[in-house]
Chains A and B, each alone.
Chain A
């Protein structure tokens, strides 16, 4: 195999992998704090992609500029989903931890509603947004690097770093971590737990708002696009360690590079099947995930 082609695949795999990791960040954060697997994760990304598309189609706003709208918009959507749909379930549960399976089913209902409302509202057509910025590929030696992917990749790394710092150093971040560790003790310390949950869900969704805007320029936008990203995110977080922020990025990079390299030898769809094998292998050898604490 030509080393140039392989290194090109490697660079592409790293970029795509970082993006997978960035998309999975919110899923990991929400699970880490609330023990809720958000099945509607991909659907929220789909909403953000459509928001970016319509902002350009109707108001002429460049997808990269639409971040100022999509991020607050998705924060609000996430905040609402948590406080209207999931909060009643958490209130019902007297135990420390929500029964995760009920929450998973509940968010599966959210997924069904959002995806099919989008299908009804936007139709099954494939859409795409384009940016007016001139983004010539960056040459890394002989290897061309797609700028749109590089921007999204950098945003993913930056978002993970900033999120970790924010959780570590701010008052609200500490309150979120305290709630994650022990809900009842957090209540006793005067933390408004329902509010923390809603804010956490909002932040998880707002991250998808960011990636919706950044991915809109090179991802075909359909009402079904969310599920495939959601599934990829599930694999990424389990691989990296559920609830771990750096694990999310590492898991994404591993899957991205593995698929890019494997697809040099087998068709791309078979490479995806091989990544399932990798997934099972890691579950068997290191069930807490690559970056999870055992």
Chain B
């Protein structure tokens, strides 16, 4: 039988990229290989969309509709966070929900235990998620083969089962399968609790704008170019002194940080966390599926995927949920298989060429 060939450890004689760069070369602002205009066009589009989205609660006052919009944008944010690493490094995570779980649980526990405001609890949860991501990513990114994908799913499921069966750990109440509720504090900005839906909506729009901007930054940063080089040809990139493990790990940690904050938002918005929904494999697959359907490795692909798929889930659950348990997930699975087979670049690719044909997109509209 053949066995997987693990990636031999990087030779210690290969200099790190920052050592290669001659010290006399200043980091000139104009050194970006691509024309900056296109990139700032994307950034402008993000700003424009954010402003337009921010204004929505002024028009839409129906609470249910606004709630649905928040759910869709939450998924868009999570898919964008997933895409930050998986869309760009050519590795697949099917366990990203563990980062959401650690973020959500940390936010709630810091609030109930120490009275720490969720505004601080969310980034702390994000940092803990980033820490966990290093534990998963460090041993696996050095290896070739499906190690990272298998390890993410194994970790996420084991952690979910552990949380579901643990009531307290070291005096910290996890409350097992029942989950944790966020105690009500009434309308309070500091506790990130509001009576209306609109403030939550503005928070998630802000988070999504941040994640999109981070993805835009990635595409134009050195990190992004390294990742593209690694994805294109790992050996060639390595021979140029780019350490695949190191830069993939950086992208993963940033992605996990964003996902952890998303978990914190989930906890605040639903005022409830439990392992099955926040750490379970369904959320992990949702994040991956939406990115892939929309177009992974693009700034707006995951957003497009979430806008298309999240309402579909909501509708099938609402209309068929009672009678046919799990039908919407069957539909999801079929869509996933069709997308992998016939639309590997996601829906954003045909959409782009359509827009370009209509003359709505400039020459550089590739991203």
The residues of A with any CB-CB pair to B shorter than 8 Å are 28-29, 31-32, 37, 39, 85, 88-89, 92, 100-102, 104-106, 108-113, 115-117, 119-120, 124, 167, 177, 180-181, 227-228, 231, 234-235, 238, 241-245, 247, 267, 269-270, 272-273, 275-276, 279-280, 283-284, 287-289, 292-294
Q: Is the CB of B3 within 8 A of A243?
A: yes
Q: Is the CB of B1 within 8 A of A244?
A: yes
List A contacts of B334 (CB < 8 A): 109, 113
Q: Is the CB of B151 within 8 A of A283?
A: yes
Q: Is the CB of A288 within 8 A of B4?
A: yes
27 contacts between A and B (CB under 8 A): A32-B2, A32-B3, A37-B149, A39-B153, A104-B94, A104-B149, A106-B337, A106-B341, A109-B334, A113-B334, A113-B337, A116-B333, A120-B325, A120-B330, A180-B1, A231-B153, A243-B1, A243-B4, A269-B162, A270-B166, A272-B158, A272-B161, A273-B158, A283-B140, A283-B147, A288-B5, A289-B3
Q: Which has the most chain B C-beta neighbours within 10 Å: A92, A287, A292?
A: A287
Q: Find A106's partner among B139, B285, B332, B340 (CB 8 Å cutoff).
A: B340
Q: Is the CB of A231 within 8 A of B158?
A: yes
List A contacts of B333 (CB < 8 A): 108-113, 116
Q: Find A181's partner among B2, B90, B344 (CB 8 Å cutoff).
A: B2
List A contacts of B145 (CB < 8 A): 100, 242
The residues in B between 127 and 149 inclusive whose CB is less than 8 angstroms from any CB of A are 135, 139-140, 142-143, 145-147, 149
Q: How far apart are the CA atoms of A242 and B146 in the complex, in Å? A: 9
List A contacts of B325 (CB < 8 A): 116, 119-120, 124
Whether A116 touches B161, Cβ cut-off 8 Å, given contacts A111-B333, A276-B155, is no
Q: Is the CB of A89 within 8 A of B165?
A: no
Min C-beta distance of B34 to chain A, whole Å: 26
Q: Find B6's partner among A100, A113, A294 (CB 8 Å cutoff).
A: A294
The residues of B with any CB-CB pair to A shorter than 8 Å are 1-7, 90-92, 94, 135, 139-140, 142-143, 145-147, 149-151, 153-155, 157-159, 161-162, 165-166, 281, 285, 288, 292, 324-327, 329-330, 332-337, 340-341, 344
Q: Find A270's partner among B154, B162, B337, B340 (CB 8 Å cutoff).
A: B162
Q: Is the CB of A244 within 8 A of B3?
A: yes
List B contacts of A111 (CB < 8 A): 333
Chain B facing A: main interface SS? helix
Q: Is the CB of A88 within 8 A of B341?
A: yes
Min C-beta distance of B235 to chain A, whole Å: 14
Q: Find A269's partner among B166, B285, B335 (CB 8 Å cutoff).
A: B166
Min C-beta distance of A223 to chain B, whole Å: 8
- B155 nearest in chain A by CB position: A276
Listed from nearest, the 5 A-B pairs whose CB atoms lie closest are: A112-B333, A116-B326, A109-B337, A109-B336, A113-B333
List B contacts of A117 (CB < 8 A): 326, 330
- A294 nearest in chain B by CB position: B6
Q: How far apart are the CA atoms of A108 and B92 in the complex, in Å? A: 12
Q: Is the CB of A245 within 8 A of B1?
A: yes
List B contacts of A247 (CB < 8 A): 3
Q: How far apart are the CA atoms of A55 and B155 in the complex, in Å? A: 35
Whether A102 touches B326, Cβ cut-off 8 Å, given contacts A269-B166, A287-B142, is no
List A contacts of B324 (CB < 8 A): 120
Q: Find B161's partner among A32, A181, A228 (CB 8 Å cutoff).
A: A228
- B163 nearest in chain A by CB position: A269
Q: Find B157's partner among A104, A109, A228, A283 (CB 8 Å cutoff).
A: A228
Q: How far apart are the CA atoms of A157 and B318 in the complex, in Å? A: 48
- B335 nearest in chain A by CB position: A109
Q: How far apart are the CA atoms of A276 and B327 in the complex, in Å? A: 33
Q: Is the CB of B153 within 8 A of A234?
A: yes
List A contacts of B332 (CB < 8 A): 112
